[in-house]
Structure 1
Amino acid sequence: MSIIGFTHRYYRVLIATAITLLCSVHSVTSQGIVKGKVSDQFGSLPGAKVVLEGFGISTTTDVHGDYILKVNNGNYTLVAGFIMYNPVSKEIQVQSGDTLQVDFVLTTGFSMDQPTTLGSRAKPSSLLKTTVPVDVISAQGVSNSSQIELSHILHYLIPSFHSTYQTISDGTDHIDPATLRGLGPDQVLVLVNGKRRHNSSLLNVNGTIGKGTVGTDFNAIPIASIERIEILRDGATSQYGSDAIAGVINIVLKKQTDVIDVDNRIGVTTDGDGVNTYSSVNFGLKVGEKGYINVTAEYRDRKATNRAGNYTGTVYTDDREEDQDLIIKNNFFGETGYTDKRVMEIGNAATQNLAVSFNGEIEMSEKANFYLLGGRNYREGKSAGFYRFPKEQEKVVSELFPNGFSPQILTDIQDDFVIAGIRGTKNNWNLDFSHGIGINGLDYTVNNSNNASLGIASPRTFYAGGFKYRQSTTNLDLSRSFDWLKGVNVAFGAELRVENYQIIAGEEASYIDGGETYIDTSGVERKRIAGAQVFPGIHPDNELNRFRTNSSGYIDLEANVSEKLLLKGAVRYNSYNDFGGHTIWKLSGRYRINKFTSVRTGLSTGFRAPSLHQVFFQNISTQFVNGQSIQVGTFNNESAVTQEAFQTGPLKPEASNHFSAGISGKLNNKLAYSFDYYLINIEDRIVLSSRLSEGYEDILAPFQVGAAQFFTNAIDSRTTGLDASLVYKTSIGEGDVNAVLGANLTRTKVRGRIQAPPSLIGMEEGLFNREEVARIESSQPNYKITSVMSYELGKYRFQLMNTLFGKVTYLHPEDGDPDNWVLNEFTGNVESRDQTFAPKLVTDAAITYHINSQIRCMIGGNNIFDVYPDRNKHSVNSNDGNFIYSRRVQQFGVNGANYYFRLLLRL
């Protein structure tokens, strides 16, 4: 190389280096620094998020509430936000070399303009701009609730949601049925972070709300892990899949980092029972520059409550005078384990609950993230059944229990789920691919009992078997927005779901017929009842392990036709390996009358295939009818009993159609409102039949049951209703007032005749009697009105909640005919056992004191005026004095007043 060539190359390199250095210096000098503090009225807020809107640049505050950002020259919108606080935005101008101080003071509360992810696959939209009604419970709403279980938080905050403790109903004592808009637990779809959550393994077969259905175990989700809850109150099966007939509940998990939240509380009823303790911790950590992992651990311990009445029946013999002498001689009431003259535990069951959950996301590239969420919940429960008296020789081995016994049902419930996925963008399309597995298992142990047919060889504790349900779901979702009209969003995707349902047999002693007999009072030798008393073990003949697959695909279109008109349409095709293919659709729209007022309407069809539980469940249980115990066999549609004796045929899917219309808006940024009407028609609704016995004794005898029941598409139903909500915010003096008023009025009616199989034509009322019809129509409150009012002044927060529950009605299966009425010992008259339970108002109150920005304490009470449902007015319904309150229909439980203390730490 010549000297001249070398020199030219040297200068080229030198010039290029100089240009690079100059560009670097220019880049540095063209930046400014934005820093500041984020706080609330009590001090700094560590972990608050500060975002440079529209540029993907963000940071979080440190333990002192301070943040710092390096920003290029220009004009920006800076937004600060934190869980349970309203976000605040400020316009800033950044110049080279400047250091700009921008502080934020956030206020608590929830804004009606906050985006919601439900009801749309486009960019999250304000509640005021959706085409369907959506309720949102913010993190503040969850945190300020006085309840410690998710189902009861929703019960007192959402007027259209119903879930309360059940009693003397086997596994249903431990997993509360939950409904929306007066429909069944299996007609509401539950999502977590927008992903389908699995159902429980429990099928409700006793006489409670939701009889014959399978729901979701809401209380398996730790409340400390929840950022917000979104409730879509509209049919949405075409958008989110089967089961969403009444609506969709989406539970959004926390993403917060750099803070540790600790919550401890203890409470007790005014009767001195039902002590509950609660502890939780939630914390988050950053992963890389944009990733996070949020972890929650939660512990709940709830002692049982007992609202049983004093027993008035006989114990050792039906001769009352002789019986009274024996009661005194044997100190019977001192040996039962209960106070006074109680022989039962009627109230909420004792449970101990331990849960962990996590929610995380990491950046894979600039356009793709990996996310992972999951958790485990383990719950032990203990409830009691009907007392077995010494006079009931067919049930009691007197050598083991000379004074009879109060049998116990112990449950072990384990609930696990994990969901992993990748979301990102490719060629302007938003992609989301995920796979999730959910498992729910329930095992029964019967304690303090006997298998009378084994005589003195009977154990006192039995493993009675259990159930397991597994759901595996794979989803692929794609969406994209286009600049057509005033904006169009196109979404489509597919889902593959594999389900598995198992019934697990109990140990032999729990179900076997040992052949022991006894001599009755007439001197006749009779057989003793086989199986563990209170819950006969599951027989190996009823064991099963069944699978089902469902694949579906959907298309979802949204078009902003103009600035005021939004139209949406969705179509989904479902294909089940056992129920074939079905197409469903939805059309909805919203018209903005002005900036603050919108009207909306929707029309859709729905579809729900029978659950695996409803198709295959088969078991024998002990049920009490008119005070007498009876062995009831629940037979599936594959059994000889249903096919030959009742000729039921296979179950069909439920089909539905929906109409809704509503208006929403706000006034002066202080008052927001919404009113929505809905109409839901369901055809071929799947129900559990009445207990059938007369005329079928010979068929049922080999199964050692006195009655049979089975699933059938017996009814069509129509549900109409109105939802309303008002949200009001203002300042009074130096404090802030927040008030929320919500109402739901609903009515469900069975339409037309009961649809009976060929063998039961003309016996429709026996197939689905008036008690079962009333369970559909009137066992849930016909209306519910909720109000939440809070006043924040300085370091204090005062909260008052009122919930007005509408009436509920119980109808006895035989009392439609006055000839069947019986003597009411309370009044001395022959009367109907039917009863309507009047509306009741329940009031909760709490006072919170902020010691500083990191510590706050709360004292409060639930049902502070100690309100109870109406008492049973007919002596027969009280079952010899045991049941003061109805166990068949529930408005809000029978615990009465309870008070609690709570301490919250933010570290």
Structure 2
Amino acid sequence: MKKNYSQLMQSFIALLFISLTGAYAQQSTIQGTVSDKFEPLIGATVVVNGTTNGTTCDINGKYTLAVKPGTYKLTASFVGTQSQTKEVTVAAGQTATLDFTLAPSLSMNEIVVVGSRAEPRTLMETAVPVDIISSKEISNSSQENVGQILQYLAPSFNSSQQTISDGTDHIDPASLRGLGPDQVLVLVNGKRRHTSALLNVNGTVGKGTVGTDLNAIPAAAIERIEVLRDGAAAQYGSDAIAGVINIVLKKQVGVAQINSQLGVTSEGDGAMGRLGVNYGFRVGKKGFVNVTGEFVDREATNRSGDYTGTVYGDARDNDLTDFFAQTGLGGKRVMAIGNSAGRNGQVFFNAEVPIVGGGELYANGGFSFRKGRANGFYRFPKDQNRVVLSIYPNGFSPEIHTDIVDRSLTMGLRGEKNGWNLDFSNTRGANGFDFNVENSNNASLGAASPLSAYAGGFRYGQNTTNLDISRKLDIGFDLNVAFGAEFRLERYEIVSGEEASYINGGQESQPGVPGSAGIQVFPGFQPQNELNQTRTNTAGYIDLEADITEALLVGVAGRFESYSDFGDNFSWKTVARYKINQTLSLRAAFSTGFRAPSLHQYYFSNLSTQFITIGANQVPVQVGTFNNESNVARAFGIDRLKPEVSQNFSVGFTTQPVAGLSLTVDAYNIDIKDRIVLSGRFDAADYPFLTTLGAGAAQFFTNAVDTRTQGLDVVANYRNDLGKGAITLTAALNLNQTEVQGQVKTPPLLAGREEQLFNREEISRLEVVQPRSKLILSALYELGKFAFTLRSTRFGEVQFLHPNDGNPANWVVNEFTGEVETRDQSFSAKFVTDLDIAFKPTTSLQLAIGANNLLNVYPDKLTHSANTSLGRFVYSRTAANFGVRGMFLYGRVSLKF
């Protein structure tokens, strides 16, 4: 028995040895290189079709895959190129070589996710227009943040940096198709992103709106940006009236990427340094974690003019040489007007990990901390109630320092069960915005006033839970069925400042003059301003998309939403696309949409110093913004806010008439009813009870106007070989026109005061302060180790309309010309040209130099003396087609390993 057992074990061990060595002998290898026309593609993906066996290319573009003997089809892919599939046969124990050369992806062959809940389609196949900003365009951009990258790459997008506008100096209002910052929805990896805590209340683009802080997301973390240029509230919910911006995060693994840049303006100010680091690593065979860190440090710019007014209000004004020498700004400049200074540190991650059963866990999120510094109007000694002479005998230039903290985290689980695709996720985001005032005083505290104070701030949080279910059905044609639910909780807070920031101390600022209450430039939020408000939203949707034939695609979507504060809404959408042939498609869409009033617009209240133009002077007024629930709002007859509702119609075509050329043309019409606006100021002289509240004027949020926006988008791309290199040409045009329809909606108690409720200047913020046209022309020529990019962006005309100058009787003398003229002004269209020259000495290193605004172009200067605020403003701060930084020279180093 023992002998038989021993023989049996020997036989088993021998069999096991033969099996293992046989299996090892059968192991084979496929290897090769993935490159484009000029260089290896670091981080390119190679996958064995129909399997989970895949890998990424190393620093030399090489890959290696272990397989069993046989015949396989492999697909190589890389962002910005056309995927390529090849077949190879490998014998037992042998190594087969299979190289790939990937061509640049034609724009119409790019795959997009946003705009449809069916399987991703190419741009040629979509029923609605989508722009794609690739990772290559993002990483090669010399702009400092996501907002400015889109400004110079997406024609329908606008985001100009503001100046002398409190918190808006630090978060740039961003818009799509000429509409408001709050009428575009931002997604990250397809999930709703939270908005900023800041409400724009100064006289800028987007006044009265709350936007998403795109600049809280590091550019180095982004694989691509999809810009859906169509109303999509029926698919994604509130805010998507103008369209959707979907930011897709990087998934690359095995490659570390470092981008660094240093630059300065031709004026010697505005120095900017940026460093971004990205690295991804595998988790198991298919999982990954991709991590990004980015740091940006930007100095301020100053484009103010020479001050021509008085300083002391006495004989000392006859010789101000010493005063100007002590201001330290050079020449006769007393203000810093231009880009604010800022320092920003960000960390982001994106991860996917397979789980047992075929599903996967995914997560993404990040943290951003930004410090900013901007100046306000100079407080002169002659401003007796605002300047404590014993502290500031020559007055002072107050500064607003901001701390902006942004956090986000998405976690989810997705997989397939019985043919149904399931996706359950939760996204939590929060934004905090704090104000610290420095180099200032609270004049009512006299000589005991502190020079700085914490003035309070805002908090906004959003938690969104989603369940999305979809499946493709074959019912004689392909029908994609998608439905789901969403629950969202929002919270908005106002935090009061320290007592010295808002208190009325009752002291004299100068002999015999009672000092104004509150720290100058931004009086702090008072305890009665504090609030903590929440609301919930429950939504359900269904989305059907059918390929009726190979040529005809149709889709319908509907979404019901119920808010805890204002009620319910139902939106719907229908789309169609018809392929006339393989190179020409027609498309059209019609949808209804809505935008819920933000919690900020419902509940924001404060007392702030706003400078109002009276004659040739900027006069400070303590303006109270009273929230929609307040007794003051009811005293003026202001109704409770209701949602904005819209109808959106678009029609267009896509075509690839010749090899290498693609063209899309889309026209659109967007009607919006009951737009929520921040009203004009109602003076205490007409409403004396405001004085008891410490306000010289009052303003409110109200549904005051209806608007119609019409426009045209044209995008053309051409790619081809040119000599020994390759050229890419792009022309992209957006034309848009927004007009207020009918009369301003005025409550009965304010009948006859339409001009006060929403005057011509406020109407102009909707109609003409953003460019009505934008044209981007670019050329990229790649030749060996060199790449040359030339881009010219034409920003269309904008206008400033003075609130009182609709009547010629209100025109004033222009000190420049001596004639009586309107203070209205048009600012002509201008081309801003960028040049970038890049050199790759090795596959892993790229060096670049270049110039943004190569020709040092500025907007038109102000031509009426009454608009310059006694010479301080050279350029308009309320209507500008682009920024006032001027030429920016830079060097850039990019490293991959």
Identify the TM-score tier after normalising by the shorter chain.
over 0.9
Structure 1 position 367, deviation (Å): 1.1
Range with bigger deviation, 881-890 or 759-768: 759-768
User: Which amino acid letter does the alignment assign opposite residue 439 of structure 1?
Assistant: A
Residue equivalent to 1:233: 229
What is the deviation of 1:582?
1.1
State which drifts further: 578-587 or 43-52: 43-52
In 2, are the aligned partners of 1:42 and 1:852 still within 8 Å (CA)? no
Which of 374, 380, 398 is residue 371 of structure 2 equivalent to?
A: 380
Summarize deviations over 1:613-657 as a string: whole Å, max 9, x none: 00000011111111111111111012221112x110210111111
**C-alpha distance in 2, partners of 1:303/1:341?**
21
Q: Size of the alignment, in residue pairs?
A: 891
Compute the displacement of 1:25 (Å): 9.3
2:764 aligns to what? 774
1:324 counterpart residue number: 317
Q: Does residue 724 of the first structure (1) align with residue 707 of the second (2)?
A: no
Query: Equivalent pairs: percent with the same residue?
Result: 53
Q: Secondary structure at the match of 2:683?
A: coil
What are the Cα deviations for residues 72-122 of structure 1, in whole angstroms up to 9, with x where unaligned?
Answer: 566543221233444333233455555321012345566421210011111
Name the amino acid aligned to 1:300. V
Distance in 2 (alpha carbons) for counterparts of 1:122 and 1:760: 50
Q: State the SS of the aligned residue for 1:668.
A: coil
Shift of 1:62: 3.5
CA, structure 1 residues 652+865, in 2 after alignment: closer, same or farther (shift >3 Å)?
same
Paired letter, 2:343: Q
Sort the Cα spacing of 1:341 and 1:695 in 2 relative to 1 into closer, same or farther, 3 A. closer
1:574 aligns with 2:565: no
Q: Secondary structure at the match of 2:641?
A: coil
Query: What do residues 182-237 of structure 1 show as CA deviations (whole Å, max 9, x unaligned)?
Result: 00000000000111110000000000000000001111100000000000000001
Partner Cα separation in structure 2 for residue 484 and residue 54 of structure 1: 26
- Summarize the Cα distance change of 1:811–1:34 in structure 2 as closer, same or farther, 3 Å threshold: same
**Deviations, residues 338-375 of structure 1 (Å, cap 9, x unaligned):** 11110100000000000011111111124111111111
Query: How far, CA to CA, are the matches of 1:178 and 1:77 in structure 2?
Result: 45
Task: Give yes or no for the alignment of 1:441 onto 2:437.
Answer: no
Q: Is the 8 A contact 1:43 1:852 kept in 2?
A: no
1:435 counterpart letter in structure 2: N
**Structure 2 CA distance for partners of 1:234 and 1:20, relative to 1, 3 Å:** farther
> Partner of 2:268 in structure 1?
272
Q: What SS does structure 2 have at the residue aligned with 1:574?
A: strand
| 8 Å Cα contact 1:622/1:630 also seen in 2 | yes
**What SS does the corresponding residue of 1:876 show, helix, strand or coil?**
helix
Which of 785, 789, 797 pairs up with 2:775?
Answer: 785
Q: The residue matched to 1:397 in structure 2 has which SS?
A: coil
The residue that corresponds to 1:349 in the other structure is 340
Question: What amino acid is the match of 1:665?
Answer: T
How big is the alpha-carbon RMSD for the aligned residues of Structure 1 and Structure 2?
A: 2.2
The SS at the match of 2:601 is helix
2:489 is aligned to 498
Is residue 532 of structure 1 aligned with residue 514 of structure 2? no
Q: Deviations over 1:708-755 (max 9, x none)?
A: 111000000000000010010011110100111100000000001100
Deviation at 1:516, TM superposition (A): 2.2
3-state DSSP of counterpart to 1:238: helix
- How far off its partner does 1:30 sit? 7.7
- In structure 2, runs of 5+ residues without a counterpart are none
Q: Give the deviation of 1:46 after TM superposition.
A: 3.9
Could you tell me which of 796, 801, 811 is aligned with 2:786?
A: 796
In the alignment, is residue 597 of structure 1 matched against residue 590 of structure 2? no
Deviations 1:40-79 (A, max 9, x none): 4565444321012333331122344332224456654322
Cα offset for 1:143?
1.3
Q: Distance in 1 between matches of 2:364 and 2:44?
A: 22
Aligned-pair CA distance for 1:487: 1.1
AA paired with 2:576?
A: G
The amino acid across from 2:553 in the alignment is L
The residue that corresponds to 1:820 in the other structure is 810
Taking a change above 3 Å as real, the CA distance of residues 397 and 861 of structure 1, as seen in their structure-2 partners, is: same
Q: Secondary structure at the match of 2:199?
A: coil
Shift of the alpha carbon at 1:17?
11
1:109–1:864 distance in 2 versus 1, CA, 3 Å: farther
Matched letter for residue 892 of structure 2: R
Partner of 1:422: 413
Contact map agreement 1:110 1:138 (CA 8 A) in 2: no
SS at match of 1:642: helix
Segment of structure 1 superposing worse, 367-376 or 687-696? 687-696
Partner amino acid, structure 2, of 1:348: N
Give distance in 2, aligned partners of 1:648 and 1:877: 32
Name the TM-score, length of structure 2 as normaliser: 0.96
SS of the residue corresponding to residue 365 of structure 1 reads: coil
1 CA distance for matches of 2:156 and 2:39? 38
CA contact (8 A) 1:846 1:858 kept: yes
1:324-350 deviation line (CA, Å, top 9, x unaligned): 34524xx11111121111010000000
Provide closer, same or farther for how the CA distance between residues 518 and 252 of structure 1 changes in structure 2, counting only shifts above 3 A: closer
Deviation string 1:566-619 (CA, Å, 9 cap, x unpaired) is: 011111000100111111110001000101111100011001110000000001
The 2-side partners of 1:876 and 1:762 are apart by 28
Residue 547 of structure 2: aligned partner? 560
**Residue identity opposite 1:77 in structure 2:** K
Q: Residues 36-47 of structure 1 correspond to what in structure 2 (within 5 A)?
A: 36-40=32-36, 43-47=39-43
Query: SS of 2:588's equivalent?
Result: strand
Aligned partner of 2:521: which letter? Answer: V
1:834-870 Cα shifts (integer Å, max 9, x gaps): 0010000000001000010111100000001010000
SS at 1:380's partner residue? strand
Q: Quick check: 1:545 aligned with 2:532?
A: yes
What are the within-5 Å matches in structure 2 for residues 11-90 of structure 1?
32-40=28-36, 43-71=39-67, 76-90=72-86
Give the counterpart letter for 1:405 in structure 2.
Answer: F
Equivalent residue of 1:112, what SS?
helix
Q: Comparing 172-181 with 28-37, which one deviates more in the overlay?
A: 28-37
SS across alignment from 1:77: strand
CA change 1:793–1:63 in 2 (3 A) is closer
1:468 and 1:38 mapped to 2: Cα distance?
Answer: 48
Q: Structure 1 569/16 Cα, relative in aligned 2: closer, same or farther at 3 Å?
A: farther
Match of 2:675 in 1: 685
Structure 2 Cα separation of the partners of residues 492 and 680 of structure 1? 26
Q: Which amino acid aligns with 1:888?
A: T
Q: Equivalents in 1 of 2:670, 2:349: separation in Å?
A: 37
Distance in 2 (alpha carbons) for counterparts of 1:746 and 1:737: 30
- The match for 2:325 among 305, 322, 334 is 334
> Which deviates the most, 174-183 or 476-485?
476-485
Instruction: Check if 1:397 corresponds to 2:388.
Output: yes
1:370-394 C-alpha deviation (Å, 9 max, x unpaired): 1111111100000000000000101
Closer, same or farther in 2 for the Cα pair 1:43/1:577, shift >3 Å? same
Whole-angstrom CA distance in 2 between matches of 1:903 and 1:263: 6
- Aligned counterparts of 2:536 and 2:568: Cα–Cα separation in 1: 12
SS class of match (2:656): strand
Distance in 2, Cα, partners of 1:780 & 1:143? 27
| Residue identity in the other structure for 1:412 | D
Q: Does 1:886 align with 2:876?
A: yes
Contact 1:30–1:97 (Cα < 8 Å) also in 2: yes
**2:113 paired residue number:** 117
Match of 1:298 in 2: 294
Task: Write the distance in 2 (CA, Å) between the matches of 1:21 and 1:569.
Answer: 62
Matched, 1:629 2:620: yes
Deviations 1:681-710 (A, max 9, x none): 000110000111165341210122211111
SS at match of 2:109: coil
For the residues of structure 1 that align with 2:107 and 2:510, how far apart are their CA atoms? 72
Which whole-Å deviations, capped at 9, do the CAs of 1:290-328 have from their partners, x for residues lacking one? 1111111101001000000000000001x5xx2434524
Q: Distance in 2 between matches of 1:573 and 1:436?
A: 20
Among 660, 674, 683, which residue is 2:650 paired with?
660
Task: Give the whole-Å Cα distance in 1 for the aligned partners of 2:372 and 2:175.
Answer: 22
Structure 2 residue matching 1:157: 3-state secondary structure = coil
Instruction: Return the alpha-carbon distance in structure 2 between the equivalents of residues 102 and 231 of structure 1.
Output: 36
Residue aligned with 2:108, SS: coil
Q: Describe how 1:360-379 pairs up with structure 2 within 5 A.
A: 360-379=351-370
In structure 2, C-alpha distance between the alignment counterparts of 1:64 and 1:810, rounded to whole Å: 55
